Amino acid sequence: MQIYDVIILGGGPSGLTAAIYTARAKLNTLVIAGNPAGGQLMLTTEVENFPGFINGIMGPELIDNMRKQAERFETTFKDENVTKLTGSVKENFKVITDTGSEYTGKTIIIATGASARWLNIESETRLRGKGVSACATCDGFFFKGKDVAIVGGGDSAMEEAIFLTRFANKVYVLVRGTQSEMKASKIMQEEAMHNPKIEFLFNTQIKEVLGEEAVTGLSLISTDTKNETTLAVQGLFIAIGHNPNTGFLEGIIDLETNKYLKVTNNTKTSIDGVFAAGDVGDFRYRQAITAAGLGCMAALDVEKYLKTLH
């Protein structure tokens, strides 16, 4: 039976960075990358804020480069989804996937990331990366001088709306309910509402995203009057939250109230020998570069931890 020094759950920037470090340290490394593999960067077009790429790089290409780099150091990859994690350091960990396969490892790095919540309408899915985005700090730069809309009523939506005013000509904030029903703090609401570039549309939800090859507008419906209107915009940002990919860990490992991994000392979880990396434990920054940095830290902690076992 093959026993890996470390099994990394997740094939995004945190998991791949961790694999580069552990494999270079001559640790027998398995990455269960997911299916489809690659994380949120696979839904991103041009990435201009990842260091080292003067003219930017496409999200899928960046993931492909990272994976090939990890493979060069003899990392093993399985494009499968984890369904169960059992075991301990004393008896080794068992990882079971959706194919029915079982893998054994001395340590685990959980780098399964978080998934943006979407509106789940066909036109939104079709136009992702073509004007529809779930990350204003990632993609706002591409909307210089354009009109955009953002969906959401929480603090993150207010922060991203304010951020977008650095580039966009006009930012519409679409809120499903009334102002009194918004979850954003009063101070964030006031800052957004006093920004001359921002306009709030309350009792509003999106029926369809308009456009064929790029976003040209939105078909809106009033939750109050049921009237339908059209709003001309060239970009749509979804800011209704993220779901950490921790469903398979509930009842097994300690989670925060928001279901993110509970992490101490940067990468440690509540289970000895299990470490966390990237967005699965980071609900604040959610950037490819911070995820990669946490992947590096988790790998170094695993390497140090394995030495103590001997």
pTM, two decimals, is: 0.80
Mean pLDDT of 97-110: 97
- Provide the annotated active-site residues: 135, 138-139
Structural domain spans, the chain: 3-116+242-309, 122-238
16: part of which helix (H) or strand (E)?
A: helix 13-24
Mean pLDDT of 157-182: 95
Residue 171 near residue 150 (C-beta atoms within 8 A): yes
- What phi, psi does 214 have (nearest 5°)? -160, 160
Task: Assess whether the region 3-116+242-309 and the region 122-238 belong to the same CATH fold.
Answer: yes
CATH class of the 122-238 domain in this structure: alpha beta
Residues 6+ apart with CB under 8 A from 187: none
Residue 99, amino acid:
T
CA distance 24 to 190: 50
The band of 34, judged by pLDDT with boundaries at 50, 70 and 90, is: very high
CA dihedral 6, 112, 56, 117 (to 10 degrees): 180
* CA nearest neighbour of 27 among 299, 309, 310: 299
Fold of 3-116+242-309: FAD/NAD(P)-binding domain (3.50.50)
3-state secondary structure of 140: helix
CA distance 182 to 309: 51
At 248 the pLDDT is: 95
The answer to whether residue 89 scores a pLDDT higher than 90 is no
